[in-house]
A and B are shown apart, each in its own frame.
Chain A
Amino acid sequence: MKVAVIVFPGSNCDRDMYHVLTDVFDLDAQYFWHEKGLPKNIDAVILPGGFSYGDRLRAGVIAAHSPIIKDVQKMSEKGIPVLGVCNGFQILVESGLLPGVLLKNESLNFMCEWTDLVVENNKTPFTNQFKKNEKIPIPIANGEGRYFADDDTLKHLKKNNQIVFRYGNSVNGSSNQIAGVCNEDGNVVGMMPHPERAVESEINPKDSKPSSLIFESLLTEMGVGN
């Protein structure tokens, strides 16, 4: 199976994600530059973090108009798993593949710290190995990470089980402490925290197992898991 890692001008977690996919989980991953199209044999798509276009105008908004996004959308409609992390989440939201927006953090500062996530929806391709309410120690690193949606959207998200992750406590002022959501079909997931920074025990001061389950979920989804 093949995982596409999309690279935009200014992406800066692409190499970290690639390392985790290939060296830690032994997956076949390939970079795709934003101007390219995606071939048909792609089994999953990951939009990594970074500062695409230097966060100009608004985080993710310019990258959302990249040629490759059309292909990502087509693949998502076919039910192929798509994960956006941090700036990747912002891009998915800006391109309309996920609901809501990401605003400046309540502190108005960039925040880099470890926090706890709570799994709300364990039915997505990236969470199927979790128990509901399981905790994930994981780092965040963003300036515009405050998830916001209006009340109707939030109601809709709850009803459709589209809230995937919540923060264990109020980290940045997100609506309902939301840290990650999915589309109605559940195959497109966006999250602000960085799982690729938490799956190796060497750099994870807490517990690397829970974050690993995000990638193991994908392996299971693809039928290559254990």
Chain B
Amino acid sequence: MSLDEQELSELKSKIGREPTSTELNIVAAEWSEHCSYKSSKRHLKMLPMTGPLIINEKGYDSGVLDVGDGYVVTAHIESHNHPSAVEPYGGAATGVGGVIRDILSAGTRPIALFDGLRFGDVEKDLQARWLFKNAVTGVADYGNCLGIPTIGGEVEFDECYENYALVDVAALGFGKKENLIKNHAKKGDLVVLMGGSTGRDGIGGSQFASDSLESENRSAVQIPDPFIEKLIIEAVLEARNGNLIHAMKDLGGGGLSCAVSETADALEIGIEMDVNKVHARESDMVPEEIMVSESQERMLIITSPAKLKKLEKICKKFSIACSVIGHVKFDSHMHVKKGKKTVAHLPTGVVANATLLDLPSREPEYLKTIETEKKFRPISNCSKTLMKLVASPNIASKIWVYQQYDHEVGIRTVVKPGSDASVLRLDNGKYLSAKIDGNPKQCYINPREGAIGCFEEACRNVVCTGARPIGMLDHLQFGNPNDPEIFWTFLESLKGLTDFAKFFEIPCVGGKVSLFNETPVGPIKPTPVIGVLGLIEKKLHRPQKTSKGDYLIIVGDTKDEMGGSEFFEYVHKFVGGKCPVVDFEDSKKHMDSVLNLIDGDLVKSVHDCSKGGLAVAASELCMTNQIGCDISLDKVPNKNLADDRILFSESHSRYILTVEKKNLKASENFLKENHVSFKRIGKFGGENIQFSNKGKSVIDLRVDKAKKAWLNSLRELIIDGKIRT
């Protein structure tokens, strides 16, 4: 966990001398993959990052979108995988804390959280259960205490995460455009460290996260304190209102080393600081420990001597420490002293800009055969299969999780968790819809199409609420990038996301790359997680309750694309098959048409068709509305597929519309006029979920029975170890 030989000689030649041990530690932290993005940076540029709504400022840690009327939304996504795999409670909690401070850094109030959690097979693996349970508690305890609602997310289990954990946290902020911090520094400005004390926790955390997880380095895991974070949020926002902040940066990976060097580099200034001035938790910490400690709940603020008194007064009110640790210079150097003694003196351009790598890539061998399918006999008892899927850990309701999260605080949550996407009300009368989605099973089989599928699914979810996608967050999680095959999957995913983003003109507002996600049994499957933000400009069309006699219309074709489906993987225990492919033209047509139908009040509700296919999507509607349905599989647009494939295929770009009789003609006419492939496939009513083909019953399942399994199976599995079969 330090510089390799080549990097060391590079550093020496750049500074023309032997580095001191403090300098070595500072540079090792900043040049780590986690902080420098050295493997990925040159490729990330392909993503479109500008657009009419995007506001770019120097040194922002989060993306900023203009939502009109003088208001902005900020967004960011982070992961805390390595720490969470070792200490899930602290890892997940500090993951929340970190991303919240990124939102705060722009001068906006954090208003919502999303969590994407991935673990090994919870049915077999007790370790996975322990990791899952504690990561959920970590997110809950931190977010709840801050009073920031966790309003959405996803939970997924796959053998590839055995003995490991992916904990992704996305956060949204909201504020007035005029209150955004315009990062700048004036001559004579002071550098202030505000918040928690600097201790020995999280030392070398960023290098730890940039390595494969071979040992359980618990001291590299940071310790959470949401109470301090809450005080920091209020203090920072009060200071912002008083115009006391010239520039601000969160202390995250790499601690002071990264915050100081990156701030100085972004603002083209120099910073001189004294480690003796840093309020430390322990008295005998050496300079390098202070510089790389990743103790949480700290902010770096640049202010003027004239404003310092007011800032100190605010800190005193909230009982949080604030130390003047240095001042701004204009020599583009990072000068670290201990008292009078210089312990590091480096050009910020050298520290903050690691040499970017151009890693080799090669198509993995396994991909040549993975889409070839094994022959399966069609399932004879589809009712039983549906019941099994509804109760399976990946499909079962995540109510046990989101009820542990305060998702109401802040009184913005209009559409609550458990829906396709959650919706928040904004102060300008508009609504913000957001969702994060990943699909490692599909991404493993086809990294490009899988990644596009995640992106499209997140868009579909947002579209289901009537919102038009305005921005995207990408979180790219892969194994060791030095393996050319893994790096190829990274590039393929990135290219796919880029193509989709460009076609749909959805700019990337922020993102994160997490590499070296390796478990004892090998690399994780490619796991891009995509967050999509959508805006509802005018009227909110709240989904209405389904009643007897309402019609179901499916939009989109159901194709023979079973690869990565829950049906193949959970029921048949088969990894492989044809990965679903998004047709961009169809996708766009469907999104636009669905949004138009919602806007015209022609549909009662729209539901996304994804995991578990049509059968699960329709069942979810029945279970949440406590009503049966009768669906004819022969009406579903498809090319001669067997019943089980029509039921469980996870083809993209599909939506299920619930339509009242009086609006049936108008909605069907609209879809016809827009050349959308769709069909009226059935009706709601009765107490059973029923599917038939040409009058012959294929599935007949009581709604209440399915609902009980769907709502309770995850809790029963985690708490009681009970597996429904």
Residues in chain A within 8 A of chain B (CB atoms): 9-10, 12-13, 15-16, 19-20, 33, 49-51, 53-56, 109-113, 139, 141, 143, 194, 196-197, 200, 202-203, 205
Identity of the chain A residue whose Cβ is nearest the Cβ of B407 in the assembled complex:
A112
Q: Is B147 an interface residue (CB 8 A)?
A: yes
Q: Is B176 an interface residue (CB 8 A)?
A: no
Q: A16-B409, A203-B412 are in contact. List 14 more A-B contacts (CB 8 A).
A: A9-B231, A12-B145, A12-B409, A13-B147, A16-B410, A53-B227, A109-B140, A109-B403, A110-B140, A110-B406, A112-B403, A113-B403, A197-B409, A202-B425
Interface string of B257-284 (1 = CB under 8 A from A): 0000000000000000000000000000
Cα–Cα, bound, A20→B410 (Å): 11
**Residue in A13, A15, A109, A194 whose CB lies within 8 Å of B404:** A109
Identity of the chain B residue whose Cβ is nearest the Cβ of A33 in the assembled complex:
B317
B651-704 CB contacts (< 8 Å) to partner A: none
Is A10's CB under 8 angstroms from B408's CB? no
Q: Is B413 an interface residue (CB 8 A)?
A: yes
Identity of the chain B residue whose Cβ is nearest the Cβ of A112 in the assembled complex:
B406
Residues in chain B within 8 A of chain A (CB atoms): 140-141, 144-147, 225-227, 230-231, 317-319, 402-414, 416, 425, 540
**Residue in B230, B317, B402 whose CB lies within 8 Å of A12:** B230
- Shortest beta-carbon distance, B224 to chain A, in Å? 10
Q: Which A residues are CB-close (under 8 A) to B407? A: 112
Q: Which B residues are CB-close (under 8 A) to A19? A: 411
Q: Give me the 4 closest cross-chain CB pairs, A-B, nearest first.
A: A12-B147, A54-B227, A51-B145, A141-B406
Identity of the chain B residue whose Cβ is nearest the Cβ of A141 in the assembled complex:
B406
Is B411's CB under 8 angstroms from A10's CB? no
Q: Which A residues are CB-close (under 8 A) to B410? A: 15-16
Q: Which A residues are CB-close (under 8 A) to B425? A: 202-203
**Residue in B227, B318, B319, B414 whose CB lies within 8 Å of A51:** B227
Cα–Cα, bound, A139→B410 (Å): 13
- Shortest beta-carbon distance, A118 to chain B, in Å? 21
Cα–Cα, bound, A53→B407 (Å): 21
- Shortest beta-carbon distance, A136 to chain B, in Å? 15
Q: Which A residues are CB-close (under 8 A) to B231? A: 9-10
Q: Which A residues are CB-close (under 8 A) to B147? A: 12-13, 50-51
Is A202's CB under 8 angstroms from B414's CB? yes
Cα–Cα, bound, A139→B317 (Å): 32
- Shortest beta-carbon distance, A162 to chain B, in Å? 28
Identity of the chain B residue whose Cβ is nearest the Cβ of A139 in the assembled complex:
B408
Q: Which B residues are CB-close (under 8 A) to A109? A: 140, 403-404
Q: Which B residues are CB-close (under 8 A) to A139? A: 408
Q: Which A residues are CB-close (under 8 A) to B319? A: 9
Chain A CB within 10 A, most for which of B226, B411, B540: B411
Is B146's CB under 8 angstroms from A112's CB? no
With A12-B146, A110-B144, A112-B403 already in contact, the answer to whether A200 and B411 are too (CB < 8 A) is yes
- Shortest beta-carbon distance, A165 to chain B, in Å? 18
Is B145's CB under 8 angstroms from A10's CB? yes
Is B409's CB under 8 angstroms from A110's CB? no
**Residue in B230, B318, B408, B540 whose CB lies within 8 Å of A112:** B408
Identity of the chain A residue whose Cβ is nearest the Cβ of B144 in the assembled complex:
A110
- Shortest beta-carbon distance, A25 to chain B, in Å? 14
Is B408's CB under 8 angstroms from A111's CB? no
Cα–Cα, bound, A41→B411 (Å): 29
- Shortest beta-carbon distance, A90 to chain B, in Å? 14
Cα–Cα, bound, A54→B225 (Å): 8
Cα–Cα, bound, A15→B409 (Å): 10
Q: Which A residues are CB-close (under 8 A) to B408? A: 112, 139, 141, 194, 197, 203
Identity of the chain A residue whose Cβ is nearest the Cβ of B230 in the assembled complex:
A10
Identity of the chain B residue whose Cβ is nearest the Cβ of A52 in the assembled complex:
B227
Is A112's CB under 8 angstroms from B411's CB? no
Cα–Cα, bound, A9→B403 (Å): 25
With A12-B146, A16-B409 already in contact, the answer to whether A51 and B140 are too (CB < 8 A) is no
Is B405's CB under 8 angstroms from A112's CB? yes
Is A16's CB under 8 angstroms from B411's CB? yes
Cα–Cα, bound, A19→B144 (Å): 20
